[in-house]
Amino acid sequence: MEGLYVANCIHYMNTMPDECVNWVVTLPPYDDLRDYNGYSFKFEEIALELYRVIKKGGVVVWNVMIYQKNTPSMRSNAYTNCYEFMLVHNKNQME
């Protein structure tokens, strides 16, 4: 499959054959920290489908959140992050 697809990932991935995608960039909802009008985030279902459709050696970029915190909260006397994380996985390393 070639191209850029913007769709409900669960519905669209269900139509795809196994190991047909070289790489995926995804930005799922921010878990249970915000209200998405009743939408529930199905982490395990999305992760299993991503694993199924990604080719061996393929890459999944799981963007946890894209923004810079202008005023990061202070945790006692510890350093804190002023950004969010992006997780990058290679299918060969996920097994």
Strand order in the sheet with 21-26: 21-26, 54-63, 86-90
In a domain, 25, yes or no: yes
In a domain, 70, yes or no: no
In a domain, 1, yes or no: yes
In a domain, 19, yes or no: yes
In a domain, 26, yes or no: yes
> If pLDDT is split at 50, 70 and 90, which confidence band does 79 have?
low
Model confidence pTM above 0.75: no
Gap between the Cα atoms of 79 and 90, Å rounded: 30
- By CB atoms closer than 10 A (0-12, 13-18, 19+), residue 60 is buried
In a domain, 56, yes or no: yes
Mean pLDDT, residues 5-31: 83
Radius of gyration of the chain (CA): 16
The count of domains in the chain is: 1
In a domain, 17, yes or no: yes
- Give per-residue pLDDT as tens, 27-78: 776 555 555 666 667 778 888 998 999 999 999 888 776 566 666 566 666 6
Residue 13's domain comprises: 1-63
Question: Pairing relation of β-strands 54-63 and 21-26?
Answer: parallel
In a domain, 2, yes or no: yes
